[in-house]
Amino acid sequence: MAEELNFSTDPQWRVKVGLAEMLKGGVIMDVTNVEQAVIAEKAGACAVMALERVPADIRKEGGVARMASPKIIRDIMKAVTIPVMAKARIGHFAEAQVLEALEVDFIDESEVLTPADEEHHIWKHSFRVPFVCGARNLGEALRRISEGAAMIRTKGEAGSGNIVEAVRHMRAIVGEMRKLTTLGQEELVAAAKQMGAPLDLVAWVARNGKLPVPNFSAGGIATPADAALVVQLGAEAVFVGSGIFKSTDPEQRARAIVKATTHANDPKVVLEASEELGEAMKGLDVRQLEEKDLLQTRGW
C-alpha cells in the first residue's frame, strides 16, 4: 500500500491541514459577539468560533439551531486578527457555501446545530475552506476525514460543562488507534469493515499510530484541569464552548485555560491557573439527560 493517502499531496489539502497544525497546543473559544471575541484574543485564544448562542443556551432555549447570521460572524472577523471559525449544520452544504463566501477560516460541521441531513454529511473535499468535524470513535473520525475533514475533535457533550463524554470519546479514539498498530494486514481489512471506515485510512492509522489530521477535544471543558486532562489523554488542542462565557469570570478563566493547555503536563502550573477562579458553569449530569437531549448522537 502506498505510503501517502491519495489526497494527502494535494496542495489544497495541505494548506487545510496546515492551518489545523498551527492551532495545535492552543484553545479555540466560542464567542457570540465582538466584546467576547476581543476578550478571547487577549486571553491568548489561538482562534475563535463565532456563534449566535453558546451550546448551553441552545440546549436551554430549544428550537432549530442554525448557522449564525453573517453579520455577527463578519463583525467578529473584523474585530480580531486570529482565525475565525463558524458552524454549519450537519449536511447543510449551502450554509457551508455561505460561510466560505464569507471567507471564514474554518467551518465546524457541528452536531451542536440542528442537523439538516440525517443520512449525509457534507462532502468537504469540494470546499477550499478547511472543516473540523466531531467524532465519538475512530470509525466516525475516519469517515469524516474521508469526506475531507482537516481536523477532528471529540464530540463530548456540548453545553453540558461535564467532561465525561469528551474523555470517553478521546479514550475511544486513542485506544482504537493503539489497537490498530498491533494488527496484521488481513486483520486491518476486518477492522475497517467493523468500524465502517475506508481501508486506506485504517491502514494509514495502523502504520502511523495517529490520525492523518490534528486531533482536538471539545464538548464539556469547563476548568483548567479539564483542559489538562484531555491534553494528557491525547488532545492536541482544545475547544471551549459554554465553559468560558457561562462562568462568573470569563476573562480570568479564559487565560487560565490557555495556560493549563500549554502546561498540561506540569501540575504546578495547572494549580496556579486554577487558583482564584470564580465559579465554573453549573453543568449537567449527562446520565440524567434523555437520549433525545443528547447532541453527540447527531451525525454518524
Q: Which of 129, 145, 167, 180 binds another protein (CB under 8 A)?
A: 129
| Inter-CA distances, 216 with 136, 238, 239, 240, Å | 12, 6, 7, 11
The strand pairing partners of 85, in sequence order, are: 49, 106
Catalytic residue from among 24, 71, 87, 210: 87
Contact at 8 Å (CB) between 176 and 138?
yes
Q: Is 105 in the site for another protein (CB under 8 A)?
A: yes
Instruction: Walk across the sheet containing 215-216 and list its strands.
Output: 215-216, 151-154, 131-135, 106-110, 84-89, 47-50, 27-31, 238-240
> What's the min distance (Å) between Cβ of 93 and another protein?
17
Site string for another protein, 242-261 (x = CB under 8 A): ----------------xx--
For position 201 contacting another protein by CB under 8 A, the verdict is: no
* x-marked contacts with another protein along 16-35 as a string, rule CB under 8 A: --xx-xxxxxx---------
| CA–CA gap between residue 235 and residue 165 (Å, rounded) | 14
In the complex, minimum distance from the CB of residue 103 to another protein, in angstroms, rounded to a whole number: 5
C-alpha cell at 44: 491568548
Q: Are 128 and 100 in contact (CB under 8 A)?
A: yes
Which of 35, 103, 117, 251 touches another protein (CB under 8 A)? 103
Give yes or no: 155 in active site.
no
Q: Shortest approach of another protein to residue 216 CB, angstroms?
A: 13
Asked if 75 touches another protein (CB under 8 A), the answer is no
Question: Which residues are bridge partners to 108 per DSSP?
Answer: 87, 132
Cβ atoms of residues 242 and 219 within 8 Å: no
Q: Which is nearer to another protein, 155 or 259 (CB)?
A: 259
* Residues touching another protein, count (CB under 8 A): 35
In the shown chain, the binding pattern of residues 257 to 296 toward another protein, with x for contact by CB under 8 A and - for none, equals: -xx--xx--x------------------------------
Cell of 31: 464567542
Cβ atoms within 10 A of the Cβ of 10, count? Answer: 12
Binding site for another protein (CB under 8 A): 11, 14-15, 18-19, 21-26, 41-47, 77, 81-83, 100, 103-106, 128-130, 258-259, 262-263, 266
> Would you please indicate which residues are annotated as catalytic (active-site) residues?
87
